[in-house]
Amino acid sequence: MNIRIFDQEKELNTTGAELIASLVQNKPKAVLGLATGSSPVGIYNELIDMYNRGLVSFVSASSFNLDEYVGLPVSHSESYRSFMNNKLFHHIDIKMENTHIPDGNAADLDAECTRYEELLVNQGPVDLQLLGIGHNGHIGFNEPGASLTGSTHVVNLKEETLKANARFFPSIEDVPKQAMTMGVASILKAKHIVLIARGEDKAEIIRTALTGPITTECPASLLQCHPNVTVLLDRGAGRFM
Ligand code: F6R
């Protein structure tokens, strides 16, 4: 595991963006695994900047997002489809048909999970998977528990996650209670995983996940089993490392 701690946010963002850009430069048909939330936004901004400067093109690349809320209209500003369109896809040359996000409004959610997982298997493996981490150690929306699900599935979000995501909605009641997420096995199939965490409030869970026991009670701890993980932390998130 390659753990890097940055004093400057800018440096963290350019390092993350360069990992993605150099992958796509060397392998134009790269399959990117993408995340939403606040952690990757600075990296997306750097990628947009690199694209605008003609340094990278995503025209042949494809992407798979980790997760999507269940029952939130795609047009809602907080749907993960809206997030990705607004924060990245609409500002670069990736073809929209090559961007994949689970359909949280599918009539048959289980069938949609199967479809998404099959697409991932057929078009994968993911070359580089970006991940954030929840305060409870979730990756994607794989919440802590006695067991974890390997492939894409529907999940009931934990109270902690609803609280953390309430900042994006008018109130906690408006946060969808369910989501669809890639499973832990789907995530671990990626060739390279890049975990990002920012802020002192992530310091404790980063220490637990990266140096504590490997347990389903901290899904991110399973990253210790992966042979190629890069961790990008700001000074706050890295203060116990
Ligand atoms: C987002 C996702 C989540 C977030 C995590 C951290 O697609 O899968 O696991 O990465 O909740 O969120 P932020 O980055 O907002 O702290």
Task: Kindly report, residue by residue over 96-116, the tens digit of the pLDDT.
Answer: 999 999 999 999 999 999 999
> Is 143 considered catalytic here?
yes
Please say if 118 is a catalytic residue.
Answer: no
Continuous segment of H or E residues that includes residue 50: helix 41-52
pLDDT value for 51: 98
Q: What percent of the chain has pLDDT over 90?
A: 98
16 CA to middle of ligand 1, Å? 16
37 lines ligand 1 (CB under 6 A): yes
- Give whole-number Cα distances, 145 to 19, 135, 157, in Å: 32, 14, 12
pLDDT at 169: 95
pLDDT band at 7 (very low <50, low <70, confident <90, very high): very high
Distance from Cα 143 to the centre of ligand 1, integer Å: 12
Residue 18 phi, psi (nearest 5): -70, -35
Band the pLDDT of 156: cuts 50, 70, 90.
very high
Q: Structure tokens of 29?
A: 């048909």
**CB-based contacts of 22: which residues, under 8 Å, 6+ apart?**
none
pLDDT at 39: 98
Pairing state between β 128-131 and 229-234: unpaired
Residue 11 phi, psi dihedral angles, 5° rounding: -70, -40
| Residue 67 bears catalytic tag | yes
Contacts of residue 26, Cβ cutoff 8 Å, sequence gap at least 6: none
pLDDT band with cut points at 50, 70 and 90 for residue 21: very high
User: DSSP label at 234?
Assistant: E
Residue nearest to atom 4 of ligand 1 (CA): 132
Active site (annotated) includes residue 226: no
Q: Prior bond to 213 cis, omega within 30?
A: no
Q: Taking a C-beta distance cutoff of 8 angstroms, is the pair 209, 218 a contact?
A: yes
pLDDT at position 4: 98
Q: Point out the catalytic residue in the list 13, 98, 136, 142.
A: 136
Q: Looking at 34-43, 161-170, 230-239, which range is the least confident one? A: 161-170
Q: What is the pLDDT of residue 98?
A: 98
One-letter amino acid identity for 189? K
**How confident is the model at residue 65, as a pLDDT?**
98
Does the domain at 2-234 match CATH 3.40.50.1360? Answer given as yes
Q: In 102-115, which positions are buried (b, 16+ CB within 10 angstroms) versus exposed (e)?
A: bbbbbeebeebbee
